[in-house]
Chain A
Amino acid sequence: MAHVESLDAELQAAYEPVIGLEVHVELQTDSKVFCSCPTTFGAEPNTQVCPVCLGLPGALPVLNRRAVELALRAALALHCTIPPECKFDRKNYFYPDLPKGYQISQYDQPLGVNGWLEISVNGEVRRIGIRRVHMEEETAKSVHVAGGTHTLLDFNRAGVPLIEIVSEPDIRTPEEARAYLNELQSIMRYMEVSDCKMEEGSLRCDANISVRPRGTDVLGTLVEIKNMNSWRAVQKGLEYEIIRQTRLLSDGEPVVRETRHWDEGRGITRPARGKEEAHDYRYFPEPDLVPLALDPAWVAEVKATMPELPAERRARFVRDFGLPAYDAEVLCADPAVAGFFEATVALYPQPKQVSNWIMKDVLRLLNDAGLPLAATPLRPEHLAELCRLVDQGTINLTVARQVFEEVFANGRAPAEIVAEKGLAQISDESALLKVAREVVAGNPDAVKNYRSGKEKAMGFLVGQVMRATKGRANPELATALVKKALAEQQGQE
């Protein structure tokens, strides 16, 4: 089938996509889920392994209590029901990244069921159901060398705790899928359950998608899409698959039930080869682990120590700081940014002004630098001080922006940078008047235009004063003094 760009409006109106997402999230414990090996990301290959996570005969797993608590936190944050007891099962399949020949997972008794989260797309709030949250162990990382004859394995990742979060098929568009992932990532970060870095693989997403005639309740043939390794890939993979399946249906052709891989290079999905039989996982209870009782008192304790949810924080930002809903959404997406906002407002109680700085400048610089806030030297004290320097008239907004970029880069105090570079606003009337006189004398055309009633010429003349002072002139004073210089000139004629 040829690559298809988009669907016409008629087909879009006739068919409806039905999407469910399966998201794997690595839990941020210090040690692995069934052994004591460290979980540090980026260590030299095969330096964080032991008989348990290598699957050596006779080695026995012992459950990490912290991993259970983080999984419970995640399930509770997603409004799941926690059963009084659950257990672990073996999921059997043969693949080199799984040395035991099975993955320890949870099958018919997951840790959490029947939850939900809310997403907002184009101002419309929708609730997406969470079918289940279960615990399992991470597999080893395989490295396939292009054109090579072998596969290479690093077992550092094997046994890192994971949760799998399975949504109900409640998602209808790629945009909603994106919003769902954003909210899920936000929640996991707020709960300090996971750092959810898709580029490091600590959050991964597979999708189940079918298409049906709009207005019907029956589900179409389900296709699973794997290998979507970025936010963009999820969006593109879903868009492609919706078009492919809609075309097939409208041409009266069957959709094959299969697993497909997103091919980033070609921008298409293609059938995964082989492994169909791998869907027969022959689950059975894991005899090496005893059942897990989720005592209500323990669950209540986990719940009581849970941090605030992003939705709660957004509501609080609107209520307590009087911010627009949009600002609250942008600021609260990343808990570190939201915390930075609150710390700055505590020092400089002008929430909207602080919000503007963060949305316009902080987020832009973070995005350009590709860094999380914690990795920069920027502190709330810096932004508060900068805002005060503007309020006091020491610097104007244009200069403040330049100073801010420098603070962001090297973490020096704004007042220090202003003093050292001589960036303080020129409010000295005699010095500025001298500049204004020179500008008026040097720009006869603009002066003529102004005198003939062209108000815009004033803006040009003030701009020349700003230019001559390298942006340091107090703008109101500069305007007043240009007018004064013009009057003087007229008086001399």
Chain B
Amino acid sequence: MAVTRAEVEHVAMLARLSLTEEEITQFTKQLNDILEAVRRMGEVDTTGVPPTMHALDQIKNVFRPDLPRPGLAREDVAGIAPAWAEGLFVVPKVVE
């Protein structure tokens, strides 16, 4: 179950990463090493052990009440926007 170069390129595209040929070679090897480590862990017999979905899976149901509170001031929001116009974030056009 080796990871191929094509899969590395696909995952890089999904993550919007632009990789060089050398990086693809390097990451293909590293990802295969990681998967090999995981495969070896898979050899442990875990029959009857429920999967750990969360590091804190003994803690459940952490809630807040439905009480609205004001958020950030608009000037502060504008301050962190890469570009801003008339109260709105401005981003490169998305093709639908």
Contacts and interface: CB of A to CB of B under 8 A. Distances in A.
Contacts of B57: 290-291
Given A62-B64, A290-B57, A46 B94 contact: no
A293 B54 CA distance: 13
Interface of A: 29-31, 35-39, 44-51, 53-54, 56, 62-68, 85, 87, 92, 94-96, 142-144, 148-155, 261, 272-274, 277, 280, 282, 285, 287, 289-293
B96 interface: yes
B40 interface: no
Contacts of A292: 60-61
B60 A68 contact: no
B34 interface: no
A411 B75 CA distance: 44
Interface in B44-96: 53-57, 59-72, 74, 77-78, 80, 83, 85-96
Q: Binding site of B, secondary structure by majority: helix, strand, loop or mixed?
A: loop
B13 A277 contact: yes
B66 A290 contact: no
Contacts of B62: 62-63, 289-290
A51 B72 contact: yes
A51 B56 CA distance: 24
Contacts of B55: 287
Interface in B13-50: 13-14, 16
Interface of B: 10, 13-14, 16, 53-57, 59-72, 74, 77-78, 80, 83, 85-96
B14 A45 contact: no
B94 A45 contact: no
A144 B72 contact: no
B66 A87 contact: no
Contacts of B85: 152
Contact of A62 (B16, B63, B69, B74): B63
Contact of B91 (A29, A36, A63, A150): A150
Contacts of B89: 46, 96, 152-155
Given A149-B93, A153-B89, A287-B54, A68 B77 contact: no
B74 A65 contact: no
Given A47-B74, A282-B14, A65 B63 contact: yes
Contact of A67 (B53, B66, B69): B66
A62 B63 CA distance: 6
A35 to B, nearest CB: 8
10 contacts: A36-B68, A45-B88, A46-B89, A47-B74, A54-B77, A261-B96, A290-B60, A291-B54, A292-B60, A292-B61
B68 A31 contact: yes
A150 B66 contact: no
Given A49-B77, A152-B88, A285 B64 contact: no
Given A31-B69, A149-B93, A277-B13, 11 more contacts: A46-B88, A51-B72, A63-B62, A65-B63, A66-B65, A261-B96, A280-B10, A280-B14, A285-B54, A291-B53, A292-B60
B69 to A, nearest CB: 4
A44 B74 CA distance: 10
Given A62-B62, A62-B64, A49 B95 contact: no
A66 to B, nearest CB: 4
Contacts of A94: 14, 16
B56 A290 contact: yes
